[in-house]
Amino acid sequence: MKRPLRSILLVEDDPDIQVVGRLALETVGGFSVRVCGNGREALAALAAELPDLVLMDVMMPELDGPATLAALRADSRTAAIPVVFLTASVDPLSVQTLARQGAMAVLPKPFDPMGLHLTLKEMWETLGPADEAASA
């Protein structure tokens, strides 16, 4: 049994995608959403509160997506947080590389703002972590 997907940290440097991403996830999807502009901001935000899922761009200033994922995996507190990449560069090699680095999935940009929450919920049902309380 999966624990429900409730909270998402969106890490994205493009202000236009931040706005439509928040709408898609919070208003349409009903998730609790925080937004950060790059990986460095995300690591700081994660020090305060852990989300169920990190949804992250690949190309970002200061600290990009793969470097942020590596930092998350290197810290025992954040190592198990599922990370999904949201990227405009979804060639098979890039997707394979991100998966090898520990991404749960890679979603393409552009995306459907009205359907993103459904995609994430379906993905969570298949790939998300088990509910530890239910399995204990």
Partner 1 sequence: MTFEEIREKYRSGLSERIAELERFKNQPGFPDASALAAVRKIAHQFKGSGTTYGFPELTEAGAAVEAASPAALTAALDRLLSALKSAAG
Q: Which residues bind partner 1 (CB under 8 A)?
A: 14, 16-17, 19-20, 23, 27, 59, 87-88, 109-114
Q: Are 18 and 10 in contact (CB under 8 A)?
A: yes
Q: How far is the CB of 33 from partner 1 (least distance, A)?
A: 14
Closest distance to partner 1 from the beta carbon of 57 (Å): 8
CB of 16 to partner 1, least distance (A): 5
Q: Are 107 and 24 in contact (CB under 8 A)?
A: no
C-beta closer to partner 1: residue 23 or 71? 23
DSSP, res 59: S
Q: Which C-beta is closer to partner 1: that of 19 or that of 127?
A: 19
Within the chain, residue ranges assigned H as helices are 15-22, 39-48, 65-73, 92-100, 116-127, 132-135
Report whether 108 contacts 89 (CB < 8 A).
no
3-state secondary structure of 84: strand
CB of 59 to partner 1, least distance (A): 7
Which of 4/15 has CB closer to partner 1? Answer: 15
Q: How far apart are CA 4 and CA 121, in angstroms?
A: 9
How far is 14 from 9, CA to CA, in rounded Å? 15
Q: How far is the CB of 91 from partner 1 (least distance, A)?
A: 11
- Cβ nearer to partner 1, comparing 27 with 126: 27
